[in-house]
Each structure stands twice: as C-alpha cells, then as structure tokens.
Homo-oligomer: A and B are copies of this chain.
Amino acid sequence: MEKIVKYIENEEKRYLSELIDFLKIPSISSLPEHNGDMLKCAEWLSDNIKAAGFEDVQIISTAGHPLVYAEWLGAGKGAATVLVYGHYDVKPVDPLDLWDSPPFEPAIRDGKIYGRGTSDDKGQAFCHVKGLEALFRQNGKLPVNVKLLIEGEEECGGENLVKFINENAEMLKCDTVLISDTEWFDDGLPSICYSLRGIAFVEVHITGPNRDVHSGTYGGAIDNPINILCWMISKLKDQYGRITIPGFYDDVLELTDKERIGFKELPFNIKAYKHGLGINFVHGEMGYTTLERSTARPSLDVNGIKGGFQGGGAKTIIPSQASAKISMRLVPNQRADDITEKITAYLKTIAPQTVSIRVEPLHGGNPVLVSQDSKGVRAAINAIKKAFGKEPAFTREGGSIPIVELFSEVLNARVVLMALGLPDDNIHSPNEKLDLKNFYGGIKASAHFFEEMGKL
C-alpha cells in the first residue's frame, strides 16, 4: 500500500482539479431547469469513472434523473463484493447572497474547498472514485469485486432509486455497502455511524362545527378544534419527557452500558450546543443525556400546526378545522408501520366525541442498526486509522437515511457509513465546504478500505 499512498499524494493537484470540474456542473436535482445539467453531470462522472479503470460504466435512465453504475468483478466469485453508493445531485443554493463565493465556482480558502456539493456528496463520493483509480493504476486490479452506484435524486426525494434497487437486486448483489455521505463527530475525530433513527409521520385533522363560526355567539358552548387539538398534543408526552402512546416503547432496544460509556467519551459541549441554538435549557426524556436523546432514543415533535385565523390582528372565530403534522423518530427495533398504527389508535381513543378526527399517515422509514463488527466495519476502522492516524468513534445519528434501510432489507447487505465530512461543512446551506485534508485523506481511506476488505 505504500506505493499507492505515495501515488495518491503525488496526484493531489489533479484530484483537486477534477473535483473542481465535477463541482462546476450545477446538478440541482429538484429544479427542472437543471435537468440538462443533471445529464451533463452524469456523463462527466461516467467518463471519469471509465478513466479510473472501470470498463463497464453505464448511465441508466430512470423516470427521473439518470443513475451512474459501474462494476468490476475481476476479483472472482470467492472474493467479497462491495457496493459503493453516493449521489451526484445537490441541493438548491438559495439564499445566494449568503455565499462568500459563487456556489458553482469552487474556491479554495484556508485549506478548504467551498462550493455546493463539496461535502454533500460529490466530494465524498469522488474520494472513492479516486481511491479505486489509485488501486487500478498501481495494481491493475482491485482487491475485491466493486460495484459503483451513484444516483441523481438523493436531494429531491426521488423514488426511482427504490424501484431500481428492487428491480435489480440480483445485479446489485453484494456483501457490503459502503457509503460516505455523513460527517465526523468533530474535526479530528473520525467516526463510523452504526445506527440511524427511523421516522413515522402523520397528520391529524380535527373538525368541529361545519363552518367557521363566531366566537361571540358560540364561545363556551361548543368545543373548539384548535383547543382540542392542543389538548390532544399535550397528551402525547408526560412531564418526564416520555411519550405516552400505549406500547410506544415496547420494541425500543435499550442502550447497552458499553454504548452509554461510548456516548460519554464523545467530546460533546453542551454549552456550545445551547449557545448555537440560542436556548437556555435543553429538555428531553428523563434519565438520558442530550446525545442519547437525540440519536438513540425515540422522539415526538409537532412539525407544523395550523387552524383558524392566521393573519394580522384579531378575528373572532371558532374555526371548523385544525390540523397538525406530527413526526416520531424511531430507534431499533421500532417499526414505522407499528408506530403509525399506535399513534393513530391513541389519537382516536382520546379524541372527544365533540369533534371528528382523521389521522393521515404521511410517510415512514424504519430505524437502522448496523453490526459493529462486520467485515466492512472492521475494514473501515483500519482504513480510517491508516488514512487519518486516528481511531474512529462509533456514533449514532438522529436523522434517517432511507437508502440504508433499503440496502439492508432488499440486498441483505451490511452497510458501512464511513464519514468523510465534518460537522461544520454547511451541507444544504450557504458556504458548503470540504476540508482538503478530508478530501485527500478520504481518497487514501478509500484505497485502504478496499485493500483491507481484500485481506479479511
């Protein structure tokens, strides 16, 4: 591997120049006016992957934006197969005036490259293209079989990949899925995420009188759907921060002592956390720390509420309707369908007969728990140690990455979330950046990862 590392170090200038070309294509998947750029970006990436050493590269059309797919199966049937997943599409860039340099004219400042997609996910995905290229160029082959799947609809909620994976499970068959689309716990602290929360999202609609009525005429004599909705929402948690939906915690996997010690060892600064949010006090489920609450314990939040008169000034009505969007973050081994059923039943049970209630399921995704000693995870630990000189921490994330569950369930593969970004990368925000030490280190980490996979 020494010559490979040396090779990578010698090629940094070229890597950066290629990354800049990749970033310059404004591949915003959610804006139809960029449909041409999406195709252009897929073509650029396809060419780059071909040049890296993959002979078999395809641009696969979907009902939405195309996928880029490549495979090299030269390691043979006895060897492991790794599927690398990433995405070449990016989020919109507004508000544009908050960018210090134009989002699609990548600029280097202070050892960091700024631009849309630098971290999420062009930069991170490109590390693997270049890591694999280094292996091809130095060894003429790869240590394991590799499939590359880089999609164009991650940022716009496209359902085409789900369909594609389900219909092409045989082609995508693999032992390990490697994803670099997350972030380290802290600068200088690489991390491998081993659990993601799922989500169950419903909208509850409460109807009282058949029209908005005058609160002078009817106030006090009939129930008001907003008051009722608020009361029902207040009944979803108790004063200890516990969710009161019957059976809600039935399938929650408790944190192990080892996990809790791991959480405690992470350099989490509660003062900075509160300062960053502008709040004086955190609050959550009694008996758990802030990090545990936000990543390893389930939660319930009203994401939106509306009802009655919302304009300026006063309008004295009892509205006919009120509604709230309520989402619950789920942890292993809760299931989105089950929790959706439970909250629906509970809301219907507590709703008084003075109103009518409708609970609409909006969407759901199951939580993910990745084995901490799969081959892939062990390879990632070693790769990170070799590339960055640091032992990675094991972390959990509070959000969801639906694709991870899909890979686990449909391909029955072990997923490895090898983060290459940093928490201050401003993903989805102005001045998105990638630290160049993470970019160059990420290319090395990628090469090491495949090398380690070949050894295990």
> Which residues on A are within 8 Å of B, measured CB to CB?
197, 199, 201, 208-210, 213-224, 226-227, 229-231, 233-237, 241, 277-285, 290-291, 293-294, 297-311, 313-319, 322, 324-325, 327, 329, 352-355, 362-363, 397-400
Contact = CB atoms under 8 A, between A and B. Distances in A.
A290 B222 CA distance: 8
Given A217-B398, A220-B297, A303-B319, 17 more contacts: A201-B316, A209-B278, A209-B279, A218-B398, A219-B327, A220-B294, A221-B282, A222-B283, A226-B302, A226-B305, A227-B233, A227-B301, A230-B233, A279-B354, A303-B314, A304-B319, A315-B325
Contact of A294 (B219, B311, B316, B362): B219
A98 to B, nearest CB: 13
A277 B216 contact: no
Given A302-B307, A306-B305, A220 B284 contact: yes
A426 B310 CA distance: 25
A363 B314 contact: yes
Given A230-B233, A353-B281, A400-B216, A303 B294 contact: no
A233 B201 CA distance: 23
Contacts of A215: 299, 301, 303, 327, 329
Given A223-B283, A278-B210, A282-B222, A318 B303 contact: yes
Contacts of A318: 301, 303
A306 to B, nearest CB: 5
A302 B219 contact: no
A357 to B, nearest CB: 12
29 contacts: A197-B219, A210-B277, A216-B397, A217-B399, A218-B398, A220-B241, A220-B285, A220-B299, A221-B283, A221-B291, A221-B293, A221-B294, A222-B277, A226-B305, A227-B236, A227-B301, A230-B230, A279-B354, A303-B308, A303-B314, A303-B319, A304-B307, A304-B309, A304-B315, A305-B305, A305-B307, A305-B322, A306-B310, A314-B327
Contacts of A218: 277, 294, 398
A381 to B, nearest CB: 25
**Which residue, A210, A215, A285, A310, has most C-beta atoms of chain B within 10 A?**
A215
A199 B226 contact: no
Nearest to A329: B219
**Which residue, A208, A217, A302, A313, has most C-beta atoms of chain B within 10 A?**
A302
A252 to B, nearest CB: 12
Contacts of A230: 229-231, 233-234, 302, 305
